[in-house]
Structure formats: C-alpha cells, structure tokens
Amino acid sequence: MNIAEIDTSSFKDFDHHEKVLECTDEQSGLQAYIAVHNRNLGPALGGARMWPYGSRSEAITDSLRLSRGMTYKSAMAGLPLGGGKAVIVGDPRTTKTPALMRAMGRFIQHLDGAYITAEDSGTNVADLQIVATETRHVAGINQKKLNDGSQISGDPSPSTAYGVFVGIKASLAHRFGSGDLHGVSVAIQGVGNVGKRLAEFLVNAGARVVVADLYPRAIEELQDKLQVTVCKLDDIHRQGVEVFAPCALGGFLTVTTLSEITAPIIAGAANNQLAEVGIGRSLVDAGKLYAPDYVINSGGIIDIYCERAGYRHDELVTHIDRIGQTLEEIYALAEASRQPTHVIADRIAESRFLSPVGRINVA
Ligand code: NAD
C-alpha cells in the first residue's frame, strides 16, 4: 500500500486544507483520497464517498470541496469537530469488495485519528463495519437505543430527516408566522434515505406532500406507507407549494430552475444546493427564503457525534431541535443586512472555527 501526501494548492477548490493524502493499493485495487480541511475545533469527521470519478483530479476536487463543507457544517452545529472527507474511486455497485474496505480501513488508520470516517454516498453501515476491523476511527456504525427502547442502526439518515423537518417548521414560522404544517404543501425532490423519512414526518404533522424520484421503486415503497401525491421529475420544483425540499443531488438551484420554482421557501437535505455562489443573491432578489444546506441537513453529523459521545436519544433530539433556532438567527441577520442566508451562515461558521491566524473568507 502506498500512502503519500499530495500538494493540492493549485486546485481551484483548495482552501488552506491541512493535508490531502492519496492511497493506492494494488492488491485490493484501492485508489482513495482523504482530505483534512481544518481541525481547529476537533478531529476531522466526514463520510467516505465511493463514486466512479472520471479522473484523479475530479476525485481530489470532490474531497477538497466536501471536507471544507464538513468544517462549516460541524462548526454551525456547535460540535467540537473539524472537517474531513474520504473519497474512493470506483463504482460501489461493481467494484466494492471486503478487501477494498479493509484497505480503506488501513488508510484511515494511517492518519491516527486526525480523520474519522462515516457513511456517505456509495458506502453503508455494513461497509463501515468492515473498515472498522482495521481502525477504530469510524462513526455511524453502532446500534442506538431510542427512548421507547427500540434499536436503530448507525445510519444517520433518520436524524438528518428530522433536522430538515425542524428546519422546515422554523422556515414556515419565519415566513408565515406559524410553523404549523396543517394545510401546508411541501414538494420533495428525491425520496431516498432522507426524503422518504422527511415525507413521513410531514404527513404525520398534517402537511400535503408531493414527491418525485428517479427510481420508481422508491415511489412505490413510499406510496405503500403514506398518502403522497406523485409528480413527474421535471415538474417537482414547479409545484404550487409553500416549501420546495431538494433531497436528491446537489447543484439543483440554477438561474433556470430558480425562475421556475414558485415555492417561497427552499429547505431540503441535499448538499451543495447552489449550483454557483451567485445563486444565493438571486434567491434574495427572487424573494425566496433559502435554508442553507449545511445548516438544515446537520442532523446526521449531530447524530454521529452523539453516538461517539455516549448516545442519549433525548440529548440528540434537543441538539437537533437547535437547528430551528440557528436558522431563525440566520434569517434575521440576513434580512437585516440584505445578505444571502448562505453568506450569513458562512460568517457565523468561520467566526467559530478560524484560528487567529486563519483566513477570513467572507463576502
Ligand atoms: P439517497 O441516495 O438515499 O436518496 C436520493 C434519492 O434521490 C434517490 O432515491 C434517487 O433516486 C433520487 N434522485 C436522484 N436524482 C434525482 C432527480 N433528479 N429527481 C428526483 N429524484 C432523484 O440519498 P440520501 O441519503 O437520502 O441523501 C439525499 C441528499 O441529502 C444527498 O444530497 C445527500 O448528500 C444529502 N445528505 C444526506 C445525509 C444523510 O444522513 N443521508 C446527511 C446530509 C446530507
């Protein structure tokens, strides 16, 4: 196994990252990168993503972008954690093997706790349990006990969904003066691990829910359980609803999609929702209330942190409920300063994690 630190300072997405390591392992076929962005608040925690990247530089770019996002997310969630991310090059459906996951475990162990891994796209609890045979720096794999005594797996998605639900209520309260969901309509784009659970929270709270998903089986499974309306993929953001909740892939908010979204509130789980930074300003100009993605989707990282800190379900819920107050604070500051909400969120996060010698990166 070859592990080497690489110089990423020429990459557009380089942002004073502490270090980026590359690992290649002929025996298992592993090609992976770990980016540690910032550890001023604690060890760098972030998921391990597996994706068939088209090139080495594409994989490194993703690790730089995602690790930076984790620093901001944890700082905003008030956690003593820094930001890191691992990416594995390969198709999770065809090239994932136990040997590859064990090699990944040895790579993570090499950082000796500077980076702690968890689930992300292309990896699941079972994969991470294999990683954990080689390193103890793995989170999101232990069974957790709920208040009613039932057990849930280490999967953080239910907590992410709950956090988005809390964030939607806070956004409604800010815009309409009440967070009551009775009679409110929400359009959810993508009903995977997070979106399907969000739909359940919303329907149970009295909301009308419209959904769309690329994967017909995801829709069928949801319809067996809940009363939801289904619409075409291309129409989900055009629904006449109060809230549009992107819960599929990032980058959906562009100049074009924004001109088609009628919902006054955009609040969903997807990471990196703004296709480009300038869209934040367009959202303000269009009169949309946008819940910054890494704030509203932080329930999962809070869950992972609580699991490591000795799990108490009531403490977890109390911590996730704070997402609502954080959003309210961001909305108030954004309105007072006429700044986009994501700019305000970045400023608050940076004030928490930047050391005195750190770079201030605000608009
Ligand atoms: P997932 O893969 O389980 O679900 C995503 C769903 O979106 C899938 O069912 C997929 O078929 C669907 N989809 C993809 N493209 C679509 C499109 N164009 N239109 C409609 N549906 C589409 O993923 P997830 O774990 O539910 O995560 C959803 C989003 O939330 C991702 O952006 C993820 O990065 C983010 N997120 C997830 C967590 C978590 O705890 N799982 C935490 C923070 C952020």
| Closest ligand 1 atom, residue 248 Cα | 7
Strands (E) located in the chain: 2-5, 19-25, 30-38, 44-45, 48-51, 82-89, 115-116, 144-145, 151-152, 185-189, 208-212, 229-230, 243-246, 265-266, 289-290
Residue 147 is predicted with a pLDDT of 60
| Closest ligand 1 atom, residue 293 Cα | 44
Distance CA 285, CA 301 (A): 31
Residue 309 is predicted with a pLDDT of 81
Task: Tell which phi-psi region holds residue 78, choosing left (phi > 0), alpha (psi between -120 and 50) or beta.
Answer: left
The rounded Å distance from CA 189 to ligand 1 centre is 9
**CA geometry: angle 50, 54, 59, nearest 5 deg:** 50
The rounded Å distance from CA 314 to ligand 1 centre is 26
Residue 118 is predicted with a pLDDT of 94
The rounded Å distance from CA 190 to ligand 1 centre is 6
Residue 355 is predicted with a pLDDT of 60
In tens, the pLDDT along 254-286 reads 999 999 999 999 999 998 899 988 999 999 999
Residue 140 is predicted with a pLDDT of 82
Residue 359 is predicted with a pLDDT of 42
| Closest ligand 1 atom, residue 159 Cα | 40
Residues in Cβ contact with 27 at an 8 Å cutoff, skipping those fewer than 6 apart: 1, 99, 103
Distance CA 103, CA 31 (A): 10
Distance CA 274, CA 268 (A): 12
Question: What's the residue count for the chain?
Answer: 363
CA nearest to 31, candidates 8, 9, 4, 12 = 4
Residue 166 is predicted with a pLDDT of 98
Please report the domains of the chain, with CATH numbers, ordered by start residue. Answer: 2-141 (3.40.50.10860), 157-353 (3.40.50.720)
Our answer to whether residue 85 is catalytic in this structure is: yes
Half-sphere exposure of 363 (CA within 13 A, CB side): 15
| Ranges of the chain whose pLDDT falls below 70 | 145-151, 355-363
Sign of CA dihedral 107, 110, 111, 117: positive
CA nearest to 141, candidates 113, 110, 117 = 117
Distance CA 113, CA 282 (A): 41
Which of 194, 232, 320 most suits a substitution to test ligand 1, by most atoms within 8 Å of the C-beta?
A: 194
Which of 249, 266, 296 most suits a substitution to test ligand 1, by most atoms within 8 Å of the C-beta?
A: 249
Q: Which of 85, 96, 144, 196 is catalytic?
A: 85
Residue 233 is predicted with a pLDDT of 96
Q: Which residues pair with 85 in a beta bridge?
A: 35
Specify the residue with its C-alpha closest to ligand 1, atom 40.
157
Residue 358 is predicted with a pLDDT of 45
Residues with CB under 6 A from ligand 1: 156-157, 160, 189-195, 212-215, 218, 233, 247-250, 269-271, 297, 300
Residue 149 is predicted with a pLDDT of 65
3-state secondary structure of 231: coil
